[in-house]
Amino acid sequence: MDIEQLLHTRRQFVTAAAASLAVTAFSGAVPFAWGVDLSKSDRPSANNPARVIIDTDPGVDDAFALLLAMRSPELKIEAITAVAGNVPLDITLPNALRMVEIAGRTDIPVAAGAKAPLLRRLVSAAYAHGDNGLGGAVFPEPEIKPVDVPAAELIRQIVRKYPHEVTLITIGPLTNVAAALNADDELAGLVKGLTMMGGSLSGGNITPAAEFNIYVDPEAAHIVFQSGIPLTMVGLDVTRRTSLTGEHVRALLANSSSVSQAAAKIARNAIDHNRAQGFLVGPNMHDSLAVASFLDPSLLKWKEYYVDVETAGELTAGETLGYSPTAGDLRRSPEMEKQAIAAMQIRGSAPTIAGTRVSPVVKEKYVPNTNVAVDVDSERFFELLIGRLTKQ
């Protein structure tokens, strides 16, 4: 199965969604972001928790993100779905189960997902997370078991049960989500939104072009970015500014709760592992920032882009490309911005000498599909993260 076959079932929905979004974008009616409102009244709260599914590949920063989510009363976590990524599935799945036990949240179903990307062999990141995914921090084998339903099917069932209510928080490769979308043509239109840790508009961390989560399964990411789901992208542009430090470890150790002590153990081992690998900073709390951005979008600054994923490049596969008529050298005076937005096309590569085509037009009209985090208040982020993990 090639990428065209994978995308075939998505095209009709995407076309309809893009047409609808074009009306909104050109009318200037998008005040902040694709379904993310900075007004406090619209944020999830303990009295009005948001239904979410967390798709994850634990992973040091995934472990912190899961603990943060499970200590946040603003979230109604309908499921946690594991995917291969930072380490293989036979490690990410028990790590997810361990975090559920540590947090005392065994009410949350955990499902096993994809063992490999849609079309590629798995590339893992044990060099960054250690062979056990937790920087070498050792915990007992989990006592609870995953549910029998595969991750993609569980995602589909929950979204169908609560149409337009469920936000997907994805902090690993997007294989499970793409599989769910491919299995159900109508599913994308029923998802409230998707907040991802993934991508970068400022260079990668596994290649010069690509961020790890997108690099591992660029075909899955392409499907998600083209799905029409309202997307929020928290990528390396901001997560690189969230380095875990010894001071954070000491704050965690000072609290006696099981969550805080487990987080301190993972953090201390992860920092030691990083130093042994020669890294001067980190690890960065990539995934925790994605969860925090959903809890409090005001922690970050945002800009709308049309984002797509390179899947064919020998050196650039997994690169996320952000198109905007008002960014970089394309910036215009305010009075010209509306005209620029209306006239902008999304172009592909220049034609070859041997070819007869002109530069391919990928999209006839510029319509933003992603709200991208472009700046972060790191101090406030860590106040939220450490504060939740040390809360009694």
Alpha carbons 221 and 198: distance in angstroms, whole number: 9
Return the DSSP state at 354: S
Task: Give me the numbers of helices (H) and strands (E) for the chain, helices first please.
Answer: 15, 11
Asked whether 110 and 82 are in contact (CB, 8 A), the reply is yes
In the residue annotation, 248 being an active-site residue is answered as no
Tell me if 125 sits within 8 A of 86, measured CB to CB.
yes
Distances 35 to 99, 290, 305, 377 between C-alpha atoms, Å? 29, 16, 14, 21
Among the listed residues 129, 248, 273, 286, the single catalytic one is: 286
C-alpha separations of 3 from 15, 122, 207 in Å: 18, 17, 22
φ/ψ of 372, rounded to 5, equals -105, 130
Identify the CA nearest to 302 among candidates 38, 60, 8.
Answer: 38
Q: What are phi and psi of 100, to 5 degrees?
A: -60, -40
Q: In what order do the strands lie in the sheet with 193-197?
A: 110-112, 75-82, 50-56, 166-170, 193-197, 231-234, 370-376, 300-309, 320-323
Q: Cα–Cα distances in Å, from 226 out to 9, 203, 223, 296?
A: 11, 21, 5, 26
Phi, psi of 350 (to 5 degrees): -65, 150
Which residue has tokens 């409102």? 37
Please state whether beta strands 370-376 and 300-309 pair in parallel, antiparallel, or not at all (unpaired): antiparallel
Pick from 38, 15, 25: nearest CA to 326: 25
Closest CA to 365 of 19, 102, 28: 19
Element (H, E) at 81: strand 75-82
Catalytic residues: 286
